[in-house]
Structure formats: structure tokens, C-alpha cells
A and B are shown apart, each in its own frame.
Chain A
Amino acid sequence: MTATGTTAQADPSAPVARPPRRRGVEFTLIVVAVLLSVYGYCDVGLARNGSVPPGVVGHGAGLGVLALLAHVAVRLRAPDADPLLLPIAVLLNGLGLVLIHRLDLETPADRAAPTQLVWSTLGVGLFIVVVVLLRDHRVLQRYTYVSVVAALVLLVLPIFFPAVNGARIWIRIAGFSIQPGEFAKVLLAVFFAGYLAANRNALAHTGRRLWRLQLPTGRVLGPVLAIWLLSVGVLVLERDLGTSLLFFGLFVILLYVATGRTGWIAVGLLLALCGALAVGELEPHVHSRVEDWQNPFASIEAGRGPNQLAQSLFAFAAGGFLGTGLGLGHSSLIGFAVKSDFILATAGEELGLAGLSAIFLLYGLLVERGYRAGLGLRDPFGRLLAVGLSSIVALQVFVIAGGVTGLIPLTGMAMPFLAQGGSSVVTNWIIVALLIRVSDSARAQGGRGPDEEDAR
């Protein structure tokens, strides 16, 4: 390891060799991420008007200052954190701003990029608050049950507000639309991690064996059923298929990681399947999504023109391998939600399969770094928290990216960091902050040294 950083030298007297801190690497990557975003911003202007847009200095400076502040916070309070997490978040957020700015050009009356920048600032602010104030992630374990209560309140809140575009997931306060469900994700991850870390032995060691599956007993099945009911409740009351899928997937993953019981997965998948089938048949909003997925071009054949999914597929197809170039595609044909749920279609059309794959790999890297932090920790709560937070990102990317590319039925959900949506951006910055905190602990403990569980 060469001294790429300015502070990254291990203490020679430490019993276990510390990995280098790599804050210099992080700084360099952040600079690259900001420059890439600025380049994208310029590229849009050059492609559209043939000139560098006047807002480029503000854009670059704004993003740069935010990233720098976040970096300073990490350097001061989490010096051992994984150096890739923050640059990836900055790059994705910057790219999202560029894509939203680019789509704003199609809708001059409805400009979303300035608002998104405000939310990003708020997100980075909360990132800094979390990194600075939360000195040890284990503190969160104390708030396991507070978290679940808070999450439930946040989830239930939008039911009292009017539905927007068929889903009751928004509340409007003073002109701002907030999706409380976004924040509930983090709280639920904390709750799951805390609950499972405390109860995993009971969950793992009871139950009957049926064929090759180890089934849990009825007594511990209760909480699982409760979560399943919660998911279905969210789905039915708020018509939010994506969030319920996310909650359930998150719970099944964490349950498996905590107990290693394949039986849980079987039960989970069975319940999910029943729920999905029932809702898919009975709930018209969801049912139409399933039908669109099975035949995205049905509306064209019926003479009603392409629906959003078909338009999204057209956009991806128009991108081909290299894309049309930023600012030169026509993803605005998708219409409604092109800046939020369908933001990936713009990336696919204008950056091509190459750019889209790069974005997917960035997410993959972010998730992998989260999992790695989990592996590096010794306390089960921290491990489950890291896995849970990473899985939130992974599932969210899969659900929405799979939806807009026709892999699975489309469900409304924000692409982390890329999509327009304040609550989502803020939540994802908090997730990254927690991952920074967790990875700092993991690497400060001596990297991927032997822990008590693997050393049997």
C-alpha cells in the first residue's frame, strides 16, 4: 500500500495491521465524480445550444462544496471509512442532477433540478449530521422498538392524505411533497437488525424439519406474519407495490442472514407469492401493471398509442450500445414521471447500454462495499444493519430498474440518488452516512480480521 493519502498511515504499534485509511483516494475520486458531473452538465448544453451553459459554475461549485463538506466530515469523524462509498454517492447524485436538468429543458415550465439540488443539499447536511453525531452505530440498537413505532407512524401517515396518481404515499406540507415511506426504510432496517440480532438464536434453533427445509415454529412465526401483513397492508392501503416488495425482501434477506435457515426463505417466498398473486388479481391498479408487464405493447395494438412502459422500452432501445449523447434523446415522450420513476430510461437512451451498465455497476459497487463493511464487523447488529442498508439499495435498484426495463412488473419507486424526489435523496444520503459509519467501525476494528463466528 503506497501512501496515496495524506493521513493514511497505520499505527505501527497496533496489534493487528490496520488497513490504510485512504482518505486521499476518496478525495481524488470525489474530484473525479464532481468533474464527471460538470462534464455531463456542459455536454447537455453543448448538445442542445452549442455552448457551455451559464449555470455550469454554480452547478459545479454547489456540488463540489457539498461533496467537500461531506468529505471533511468523513475525514474528521470516520477516518477509517470505506473510500468508495462517498464518491459513488456524489457521482450518482451529480449524474441525477444532470439528467434532471437535461429533462428540465423539455419542460421549461416545470423545472425540477433546482429543487432537487436543495434536497441534495439537505441530504448531504443530514449525512454530515449523522457522521458527526453518531459516533458508534451500536447506539442505534437501543432504539430498535422506537424505530419500528416511528416507521409504522410514517407509513400510516399518508393514508390520511389524498392519493396522488393512484398511490397514497405522499403528504404535502407547505408546498413540499414528502414520502414518509422513504424514511421508514431506514428505520425498518434498524428495527430488523436490532430485532434479529437479539432473537436470532431463538429463530434459528427451533422448528421441525420437513424434507430439506427447517421450518420455524408457530411461536416465532408471529413476527414474520406481522411484517407480511404490514407489507400487504401498505400495498392495499397505499397501493404502493414497490415499497411492500422492498420491505418484504429486506426482511427475508435479513432473516436468512441472521439465522441461515432456508426454511425462512421458503416460507417468505410462499407468503410473498400468495400476497402478490392475490393483490395482482384483486387490486385493479396493480393488476393493470402486471398486464402491462406481460404485454407492454397491448395498448398500441388496441390503437391507444404506447403506454409509459412501451415508451420507456423505446427509449432504452433508442440508446443502443453507446447512446444518443446527453441532451439528444427523446425520453420525454414517456411523459409523466420521466424525471422520477423513469429517470433510468433517459440514462439508457442518452448514455446507452455502456452508460447504463456503468450506473448499474456503481450501484453494485455501493452494495458490495456495504456488504463488505458488514463482513468486517463483529457485532451481529452492525452486520445486519450493514447488510440491511445495502440490501435496501440493491432491492430498490432492482425493483425500479427491472420495472422500467420490463423485467418485472413496474412499480413506482425512486432510483436511489438519480431520480427526482426529495425524500428519496435525503434517505439515501442517510443510508450512505450509516454505511460510512459502519465501515469506519469495521475497518477500525482491523479490517477483515478473523471474528468469533468464522473462527470455529
Chain B
Amino acid sequence: MTGNGRPMARYIRHAALFCALLLLALLVNATRVQIVRGGSYDENPANRRSTIARYGQPRGNILVGDGPITGSRDSGQRFRFERTYRDGPLYAPVTGFSSQVYGTAFLEAAADGVLAGTDPLLSPLPLWNDLTRGRNPGGNVVTTLDPVAQRAAYAGLGSRRGAVAAIEPSTGRVLALVSTPSYDPAELSGTDASVARAWARLNSAPDKPMLNRAVRQTYPPGSTFKVVTAAAALDAGVVRDVDEPTRSPDPYRLPGSSVRLTNEVEGCEGASLRYAFQWSCNTVFAKLGVAVGAGAMQGTASGFGFNDRELRIPFRVSPSTFDTRVDEAQLALSSIGQYNTRATPLQMAMVAAAVANNGAVRTPHLVERTTTGDGSTVATTGQRTLHQAMNPATAMRLRELMTDVVEEGTGTNAAIPGATVGGKSGTAQHGIHNSGTPYAWFISWAQSDRSLETAVAVAVVVEDAEADRGDISGGGDAAPIARAVMEAVLDP
């Protein structure tokens, strides 16, 4: 009994109201954290939940032929499933890596949505996974690769630095994509200290094993670029008859300069296009390029795919370049694959493929189709024509010229019995005053005598052909590799 008349009950209610306000503050704040700001917290790069979820299930596989070339291993760690690779170094330029620490590259990156199971196309119902917080099992990616051709290319390069790209001219399917030296992407799977060591070692190695030379390295294409120049000259009407002598001097003084361009072979003075192509006369093609003009040369080069910054197969391909702002001397050098003309091996395979496919360049692609984990098709890569690089008639004449090269020119090493083979060799000098070891190039295509279509177009580049400088030639070092790849495709 206090008897002072102070209504304690009222104050208790006030205090209760205060507690209710505290409760309300907690509820409002919880809503803020969990709902309003939830999205931005989920996406914070320091939040590892998405990474945990990503590695919480086996990743889908990349398939070559009918067999997977990848796998998943349950590590029992927080980032649970680690990537394994079958024939890792052989397929590394295609698969790239999938690393818990360093992310993904190449197909692992480009097809990540399907492989990781996040692609909405994998869902049985739209928005189903948003509702259930589920994640589909990883889907598979079926590649266009021909395992026999891939092996032939890898074995052909051996211990030498270089790259091979082979495509099917009529479809653009990539049949082989090899880069040497290579590495085993499995070394980068997982979170061990060895992963970091492997990463450091691979990145600092002088011969750059993680560089995908087939699509990410551009080389001066040298004489192989003469296919493009010839196509431009024929399309532009600068040359009407391949057997008509061109009025070209030897040596050829570059316009507006005192530099004299010479040849490695005899008989180039006033030679016909056929002879000049067969024996790779620099003077003739330099002069032809100038005669065609910078605009038309660039137009034809673009038609083959040069200067295309958008090409993806589905990973990005470094743009091959044909310089557009050149004077006549530079144009002359550009037209024989020097100066600022640079090309990836894939680009040069596309050049050969265009000749073999009536002048049409099909969009190159590595992914045949994607499937769900249990094999039903999710999406198929459509086959499209990227450009018409030249007139079909021009393509016919170039086929003839390229066939001559293999039959009796610089590319006899690429000849295959029972098949029509066309090719073009190149020996690209580079470095200051051409001091570097030249790159040996060979681009070619092959059509079985039993078939109506050209089965394969291939480009080979060998960086460090171990021979005296004078002996290095596309026909000598690169052509046998090209032949092995073509044989593998023709007669698996």
C-alpha cells in the first residue's frame, strides 16, 4: 500500500510501450536487412554463399564426341566439387579451367550458366528455382571437336610452340583447337596451396602455357595472307586471268619509298598470278595490293573476318587486324601479311575455309549443343554465314591456285593420296629488322575424292621451328602437321 496516488500501472504500460517500440525496431530492421538490402548483400563479392552454392553440386561436363573430357570430384571441402580433366593439356585451349580460386576461362567461362546449372533454360518451369531456392543439376556442353583431329594436331606440334585451328568449311564447326605448350587445368581446381603455386608458376612461365595461341594470339600471317590479296585482286578485276603475266618488277620498289622488296625465289618478274601464288612471290602480291587499293583490300579482309572485334566461338577470339590507315608502301607490305597485318590461327583457318566453301565464311563455333544433365537438348548452335568473303567464281579459281601449291609448289608436304588438298605456306618474319625466329605457317583444306564437300580447313603456326633461319618454311615445318590433321578428319 503506497497510498501516494501515483498510477504505477500507467507507467508499466508506458514501459511496455517502450519494449514494444524496441520490438518494432527489431522487426523493421530485420526487414531492412533481409528483404530491402538483401539483394545487395547477396551480391557483395565478399559474400561467399554464391561461390559455395556454385561448387555445391557436380559441374556439368564438356563432351567431345560422345565422351566427357571433364569430371567432378567431391573434395568434402566448403567449395565441395572440384573439376577434373581427362587429357587436360590436350583440351586446355578449349575447356579452359574452372578454379575455386581463380574463376573460369574459355568454355568453362562461356558456358558457365549451363555447366553450373544456373541457366534458366535448364529449369523445368519458368521461375521454378526462384521459388524453391533450388538449382538445376549442371548441364552438359557438347563440342564440335573431332578427338582424332585434336590428337593429331597436338601430337604434330609436339614440344614446339605453336597452334592449330581446324574447322569444317561448310558449317563452321571447329574440329580442332590446339595450343602448345599447354597445361593441365586440373592443377587449378580446388583451394589447396598447390593451386596458388600452380597459378603463379603457369603465369610466370616464359613460354606462356596458359596463352591460347589458337584464338588469343595474333601472328603476322606472312605469305598465307596472299590468299586474301589474291581474292581481292580477282574480285576487284585487277587480275582477270590467273595465267596472264602481271607486269610486276623484281625487285619491287615500294611506292613513295626507297625500300626494295625482293623474293626468295626466281622467276617472279612479270609472273602470272598462278606462278606467283605457287611460289609465293612477294613482289607480285605487294604490287597487286597497291593496285587493288586500301579500301577494297580492307573490304575483302573484313569479309574473311579481319578487324572483327565481336567474334565469339562462344568465347572471345582476339581480333585479327588489317590496318586501314596506311600509305601505299604500308599497303604493299600489309598485302603480303606484314606491317600491321596480324591474324590468329583460327582466322587463317577461316580464310582457307572460305576458299573451300565457295567464298562463304561460316561462323565458327565450338559448341554443337547444350543438354540438361540427363541429356535432353537445351539449345543447339545455329549455323550461319558470317560473310561472303568473295565471289564463288573467285573461290573456284583460288581453289585451283591452292591445289597447285600442294601439287607442285611450296606445300607438297601436305598432299594426301585419295584427296584433293589445297594449301598455302607462309614464313613470317618478325621482330626488329626481322631478327626473330620466323613463324612457319601453313593453311590448307582437304576434300576426299569420294566426297562432294570439303571436309576440313586447317591453319597451323609453328613459332619456334628449330632449324636454321634459312630452312624454316611453312611448307617444311607446318605442312606435315596440317596434313596429319586433315588425314585424321578425312579418314578417322
Contact = CB atoms under 8 A, between A and B. Distances in A.
A451 B10 CA distance: 12
B95 to A, nearest CB: 29
B46 A310 contact: yes
A405 interface: yes
Given A256-B14, A330-B48, A401 B35 contact: no
A253 interface: yes
Main secondary structure of the interface of B (DSSP, over half): helix
Contact of A453 (B6, B46, B48): B6
Given A260-B10, A318-B42, A253 B33 contact: no
Given A306-B46, A353-B35, A383 B12 contact: yes
A305 interface: yes
Contact of B9 (A256, A353, A375): A375
A394 B22 contact: yes
Interface stretch (A79-87, A173-181, A363-371, A428-436): A363-371
Interface residues of A, number: 61
A395 B21 CA distance: 11
A407 B29 contact: yes
A454 B7 contact: yes
Contact of B2 (A201, A367, A391): A201
B33 A317 contact: yes
A406 B25 CA distance: 12
B77 interface: no
Contact of A317 (B1, B29, B42): B42
A257 interface: yes
Interface string B16-56: 10111011011101110111011111101111110010000
A300 B19 contact: no
B26 A321 contact: no
Contacts of B257: none
Main secondary structure of the interface of A (DSSP, over half): helix
Interface string B333-351: 0000000000000000000
A204 interface: yes
A258 B35 contact: no
A63 B27 CA distance: 29
B26 A398 contact: yes
Contacts of B206: none
Nearest to B9: A454
A456 B27 contact: no
Contacts of A325: 133
A320 B42 CA distance: 10
A285 interface: no
Contact of A390 (B19, B39, B46, B47): B19
B128 to A, nearest CB: 15
Interface string A375-407: 100001001000100110011011001100111
B431 interface: no
B5 A257 contact: no
Nearest to B17: A371
A297 B8 contact: no
A168 B40 CA distance: 37
Contacts of A451: 9
Given A204-B4, A317-B37, A353-B31, A256 B46 contact: no
Nearest to A374: B12
Contact of B19 (A313, A322, A394, A454): A394
Interface string A312-334: 01101111111011000010010
B10 A253 contact: no
B416 to A, nearest CB: 58
Given A257-B15, A318-B42, A452-B3, A357 B10 contact: no
A359 to B, nearest CB: 10
Interface residues of B, number: 44
A316 B12 CA distance: 33
B455 to A, nearest CB: 51
Contacts of A409: none
A371 B19 contact: yes
Contacts of A204: 4, 6
B5 A360 contact: no
Contacts of A397: 22, 26
Interface in A239-261: 253, 256-260
A343 B38 CA distance: 19
Given A257-B12, A401-B26, A320 B34 contact: yes
Contacts of B133: 322, 324-325
Contacts of B37: 313, 317
B19 to A, nearest CB: 4
A453 B8 contact: yes
A130 to B, nearest CB: 23
A405 B33 contact: yes
Contacts of A407: 25-26, 29
Contacts of B26: 360, 397-398, 401-402, 405, 407
Interface in B289-329: none
A348 interface: yes
Q: Which of A317, A319, A452 has the most CB of B within 10 A?
A: A317
Interface string B377-402: 00000000000000000000000000
A453 B19 contact: no
Contacts of A406: 29, 33
A391 B19 contact: yes
A26 B144 CA distance: 69
B5 A456 contact: yes
A300 B44 contact: yes
B330 to A, nearest CB: 47
Contacts of B18: 253
Contacts of B29: 402, 405-407
A371 B35 contact: no
Contacts of A394: 19, 22-23
Given A317-B37, A368-B16, A380 B8 contact: yes
Contacts of B45: 300
Contacts of B4: 201, 204-205
B11 A357 contact: no
Contacts of A318: 38, 41-42, 47, 49
Contacts of A454: 7, 9
21 contacts: A201-B2, A300-B44, A300-B46, A306-B46, A313-B33, A314-B49, A317-B33, A317-B37, A320-B38, A322-B133, A330-B52, A333-B49, A353-B30, A360-B26, A371-B12, A383-B12, A394-B23, A402-B25, A451-B9, A452-B1, A454-B9
Given A257-B14, A260-B7, A391-B15, 6 more contacts: A313-B41, A317-B33, A321-B35, A348-B33, A371-B12, A401-B26
Q: Which 6 A-B pairs have the closest CB atoms?
A: A317-B41, A317-B38, A394-B19, A407-B29, A300-B46, A398-B22
